[in-house]
Structure 1
């Protein structure tokens, strides 16, 4: 693995581009970031193997200011050059610059290894006994989850401090396995249900790429399903939504975030029931409600989608398992609480993932149950064996989303799955023969998807790098990947190429064509996060960009500058970067900062839901 050095010493100009490379026939653009005017400068494309200039041109007109430090940016377009090879861009003018080395090649050659990296990330996040020791020396962890106790939902104050004690209400229950949510070791149905839906959809769409071998997303998706099946008891109709507590009360009860360690260390703790670290070893499981209680519709919708996709993927290869999935999916869907909905159930505390929209989840769940039941040869005893039931329900919830308070306010990500739901429902309506009487039409689905993309393209016009989301928020990288996917969904359904360049720009942004000149995916490109806020990466991986790495991890990327106050090393953390400092600070702009430091959770914490979208984006390139 390439050793990453400080390539951001004082300079006047930088060439920002997709460091993974460009597919031969696609639009190929880079951005020149300059400290002063460089209008009319020329650039040359140099083959790094031969040293020969193979293409030359003039930089485009100014794309506007990035910051007071870099008031000038320019487009470099070399789309017409299509010869495979390894290259760098050299800018000659009043301010000179040279790009990182990149490739022009086929999608398969550029992106296949990145799919393998994505699988590597999820295997590094595995909990339980079934881990792969060749992945960052992972060892079995949290084996006490096999006999966990059940607790009622705890109370937290506005500072996420646990109030009172935990109330045990049942158990034991086996909730072992699954994935750690992010850089910590808590497990949530909220994020796992979303992650698994994306992975299973990807495996269904690209079976040749994602089944078996070094990118077996199909198999890893089933690993996620196994855990979700444990968190849902279909016999008693009870949902459990979380394993472990992130934050305790700072004294008598410690949470996961109070210690920095490798996960297997938790099993070695010697604790009594009164020890502050008791709930770190014997992790609580939180119940969403009593047996048969209604379920928060965001969780119900996504779980229904997971179980519907499960049936679609495994009804032939493992019919018993698939039938169990379908029965669970139908039951969960029927228990969704869809009236008088107030605060959605996500996690404890809620503001770890403060989700507010749920109609999109119900649309996706109904659509995947339609796709499952439309396969025919269904098991007996289902609540709804007529596929039209689910098609009508999907259209109902699509219409409710489109006419609801959050329509078109986001791109595809954890908090809004409407882009994927609309795509799936459009195709389901085609599959059903475009029946009359549905609450939504294909035209209205396409129009709503277009409205989301138009919001992104409008925002992109105000950014020299064409990013489709305002920088002052968070979750920048998954938003970019989500827009890349929505652009492809729309163009495919409409039979156009209207948003192709916009989609490529979002992909390129995540892979290095941004002000900071960093890819936000570990192992993708020449500069990527070295210092993630991941306990596994920090304690078992390299701190300098060498091997081993938590390959495939997608991090947040730039975040609002206000999010970086009060950051400090936690006991047990390895300082990263070892020398300290912030080599990216000079590139702060548009109210956003990117900080590659283990303390900087707003920029460098990896997450399961972030990484899921990269699988689909990379598969599409191939």
Structure 2
């Protein structure tokens, strides 16, 4: 059987349909402003209760929380996808997400939407002279209501449809209620800011020089702050026990240093990048059978690839070997019929996309095809070659078997077509599913005969653990789909 070279044409743009409808600020799906009072500062020694304009960005999933960690990674992935594969993207929408081109690729419009929000979340040029860096907008009190974005009834103590809280990076454990995270620095967030700002400054320079000059300045400030305050800045729990438990940060600083080297050519940044790379050569989930929620995020390290684009042959070989070691660790666990070796933790599809992306990057860097079979298997899994025979991307491929009842109030009230392009969380270990709070299937399990093993998936509105579309996972696929396209 011959597979056409053009079967992935338009695939990367399909992901953007989901990204656009996730927008806060002006939302093109609802044709109105969403969360236009964001936000009031909390957990700050001197500014608690003050207003800070942080309107914009994307909702993280079917809830409306917003995180710098996931948003900066999503922004970087889209920018990187365009930089390396500009042929894969069309110009069918304007910067507001409305039909009609504007002579800028839609993926750049979407990435700019992310950059504008990130710039607000790091008001480094604050008139007081204080370095203020925010990490999170809203918290899990959002989950108390099941509303559409324009009528979000969440009440954070200031009344419904009102202010939401914005959390600063403090370098210390955070949480306004009983639960606390384990934050001990700022580098994980600062590094993500710096890499997105630096690449955005490079790619958008010809479109808006004033904005890219602002991004450039913020990239340097964020990187310097990350070096001053090493450690992680995790998301803050609200009343629920769940938060993003990111435990690594050198990967973020490696990528930031590599991007600043690309921006400036200063050798110190390359030396920094190589030093950070050597400290975490392999992303720690690779080869493991479990991990905590978002413990090793991003799920693949773009920094190794970005070093390889500019480094000496010896250093390129070193970072390629780091990639190979991680890939091999996953392959060593892939002795099943589907040839997949990731741990089935919450958001497993994100790991599947990252494994395939890292395998692709390694293959492009080295010409070594040894992992091609497993790269393909991971992509196939996402597109339906899995125990349930269903695509993990809403509405894609057209005509295929895909989720009809995702965990999304927008899909529930306005139709599943509104979630076109969204990547679902994906299957989880049965033990995870059984121990998460508040999950209740709304209908008999149509996949019950396939859910008899150690992993489960449900196409059911009530299963937020396996069937919820996720913003960062969707953007995480953009590089892979763009590279596969032949326009």
Picking from 368, 377, 383, the partner of 1:496 is 368
- Mapped partners of 1:324, 1:460: distance in 2: 45
Q: How does 1:5-16 map to 2 (within 5 A)?
A: none
Does residue 474 in structure 1 map to residue 373 in structure 2?
A: no
Q: Is the 2:281–2:323 Cα contact (8 Å) retained in structure 1? A: no
Determine the structure 2 residue equivalent to 1:287: 168
Q: Is the 2:230–2:249 Cα contact (8 Å) retained in structure 1? A: no
Does residue 183 in structure 1 map to residue 71 in structure 2?
A: no
Change in CA separation of 1:551 and 1:508 when aligned onto 2, cut-off 3 Å: same
Q: Is the 1:295–1:335 Cα contact (8 Å) retained in structure 2? A: no
Determine the structure 1 residue equivalent to 2:427: 558
Report the 3-state secondary structure (helix = DSSP H, G, I; strand = E; otherwise coil) of the residue aligned with 2:136.
Answer: strand
Determine the structure 1 residue equivalent to 2:181: none
Report the 3-state secondary structure (helix = DSSP H, G, I; strand = E; otherwise coil) of the residue aligned with 2:40.
Answer: strand
Change in CA separation of 1:469 and 1:602 when aligned onto 2, cut-off 3 Å: same
Hey, which of these two has a bigger chunk of helix by percent? 2
Deviation at 1:332, TM superposition (A): 0.6
Picking from 586, 591, 616, the partner of 2:454 is 591
Picking from 254, 257, 260, the partner of 1:366 is 257
Determine the structure 2 residue equivalent to 1:101: none
- Bigger radius of gyration among the two: 1
Change in CA separation of 1:340 and 1:229 when aligned onto 2, cut-off 3 Å: closer
Q: How does 1:165-314 map to 2 (within 5 A)?
A: 169-210=48-89, 212-213=91-92, 216-236=106-126, 237-246=131-140, 255-266=141-152, 278=159, 281-289=162-170, 296-314=186-204
Q: How does 1:30-109 map to 2 (within 5 A)?
A: 81-82=1-2, 104-106=3-5, 108=6
Report the 3-state secondary structure (helix = DSSP H, G, I; strand = E; otherwise coil) of the residue aligned with 1:222.
Answer: helix
Q: How does 1:130-169 map to 2 (within 5 A)?
A: 130-132=26-28, 135=29, 137=30, 139-145=32-38, 148-152=39-43, 169=48
Determine the structure 1 residue equivalent to 2:97: none
Structure 2: unaligned runs, 5 residues or longer: 94-104, 172-183
Change in CA separation of 1:418 and 1:323 when aligned onto 2, cut-off 3 Å: same
Deviation at 1:340, TM superposition (A): 6.9
Deviation at 1:552, TM superposition (A): 0.4
Q: How does 1:407-422 map to 2 (within 5 A)?
A: 415-416=297-298, 418-422=300-304
Determine the structure 2 residue equivalent to 1:112: 9
Q: Is the 2:282–2:323 Cα contact (8 Å) retained in structure 1? A: no
- Mapped partners of 2:283, 2:353: distance in 1: 24
Deviation at 1:114, TM superposition (A): 2.7
- Mapped partners of 1:337, 1:404: distance in 2: 20
- Mapped partners of 1:490, 1:404: distance in 2: 14
TM-score normalised per structure 1: 0.67
Q: How many residues align?
A: 450
Q: Is the 2:185–2:233 Cα contact (8 Å) retained in structure 1? A: no
Deviation at 1:404, TM superposition (A): 9.5
Picking from 207, 218, 226, the partner of 1:328 is 218
Change in CA separation of 1:358 and 1:567 when aligned onto 2, cut-off 3 Å: closer
Does residue 451 in structure 1 map to residue 350 in structure 2?
A: no
Deviation at 1:532, TM superposition (A): 1.4
Determine the structure 2 residue equivalent to 1:96: none
Report the 3-state secondary structure (helix = DSSP H, G, I; strand = E; otherwise coil) of the residue aligned with 1:238.
Answer: coil
Report the 3-state secondary structure (helix = DSSP H, G, I; strand = E; otherwise coil) of the residue aligned with 1:510.
Answer: helix
Deviation at 1:486, TM superposition (A): 1.2
- Mapped partners of 1:366, 1:337: distance in 2: 10
Does residue 397 in structure 1 map to residue 276 in structure 2?
A: yes
Deviation at 1:344, TM superposition (A): 3.5
- State the Cα deviation string for residues 354-410 of structure 1 (Å, max 9, x = none): 111111111011111111113xxxxxxxxxxxx212111111111111299778769
Q: Is the 2:286–2:330 Cα contact (8 Å) retained in structure 1? A: no
- Mapped partners of 1:242, 1:495: distance in 2: 40
Report the 3-state secondary structure (helix = DSSP H, G, I; strand = E; otherwise coil) of the residue aligned with 1:360.
Answer: helix
Q: Is the 1:199–1:612 Cα contact (8 Å) retained in structure 2? A: yes
Q: Is the 1:360–1:417 Cα contact (8 Å) retained in structure 2? A: no
Change in CA separation of 1:517 and 1:326 when aligned onto 2, cut-off 3 Å: same
Deviation at 1:517, TM superposition (A): 0.5
- State the Cα deviation string for residues 404-453 of structure 1 (Å, max 9, x = none): 977876999971455321111111204xxx5xxxxx82222111110111
Change in CA separation of 1:568 and 1:347 when aligned onto 2, cut-off 3 Å: closer
Determine the structure 1 residue equivalent to 2:100: none
Hey, which of these two has a bigger chunk of strand by percent? 1
Report the 3-state secondary structure (helix = DSSP H, G, I; strand = E; otherwise coil) of the residue aligned with 1:371.
Answer: helix
Alpha-carbon RMSD: 2.9
Q: Is the 1:203–1:217 Cα contact (8 Å) retained in structure 2? A: yes
Q: Is the 2:283–2:301 Cα contact (8 Å) retained in structure 1? A: no
